[in-house]
Amino acid sequence: MEGKSFTNFTEFKEFIKKHEEEQHVLFVTSGSKKLINGHPAKESIQYEWLKLVCKQGRATKPTSSKGIRPNQRSWKHDCGAVIRAVIRHSDVTGYQFVITKAILSHENHPTDHLTALVYPENRRIKPDETVDLMVGTKIPQSELRQITRRNRTNVFLERMWKTTGEN
Ligand SMILES: [Zn+2]
């Protein structure tokens, strides 16, 4: 993954999303710097640099709320997985967003698909994002939109079928 380059941020984001889907992991932003207004790549690449860390490796205080989903507390693990990308420019390529660091080995937590499914982020996934995730599957996009409009339960089920490959 290191050295991989993208011409815009959307392309980068889709690449990361695909990686997360395939590996059953989830990355969250731990730091970033946006390009200044007026920068030639402000619209396309948006960021000067961006650092993503494994959701389960992020240092967070254990939740103090009691009784609600008690196993959430155990989701805090030390994992060193990290992806860093920076903007680069050359006369040949123009502006590019380049992955300069990618540690993709996960430690101290499972990366099976069931674990990925119970991440809070995936539970509250927006219908439109779910459609995006399923691009490339055999289900027609018009049908997907219909399905995801119905309700959030269906959204979750659709996602689960896709992840388990049983649709
Ligand atoms: Zn991890």
Phi, psi of 119 (to 5 degrees): -60, 135
> How remote is the CA of residue 37 from the centroid of ligand 1, in Å?
34
Pairing of strands 27-34, 94-103: unpaired
> How remote is the CA of residue 80 from the centroid of ligand 1, in Å?
7
> How remote is the CA of residue 81 from the centroid of ligand 1, in Å?
5
Q: How many CB atoms lie within 10 A of CB 40?
A: 11
Q: What is the pLDDT of residue 70?
A: 46
> How remote is the CA of residue 167 from the centroid of ligand 1, in Å?
28
> How remote is the CA of residue 149 from the centroid of ligand 1, in Å?
32
Q: What is the pLDDT of residue 162?
A: 58
128: tokens are 């439109």
Q: What is the pLDDT of residue 103?
A: 95
Q: What is the pLDDT of residue 88?
A: 97
pLDDT, one tens digit for every residue, the chain (167 residues): 999 999 999 999 999 999 998 888 889 999 999 999 999 999 999 999 999 999 877 655 555 555 545 444 444 557 889 999 999 999 999 999 999 999 999 887 777 665 555 555 555 544 445 544 544 455 555 555 655 555 455 455 556 555 554 44
The answer to whether residues 48 and 25 touch, using CB atoms and an 8 Å cutoff, is no
Closest CA to 123 of 55, 63, 51, 49: 55
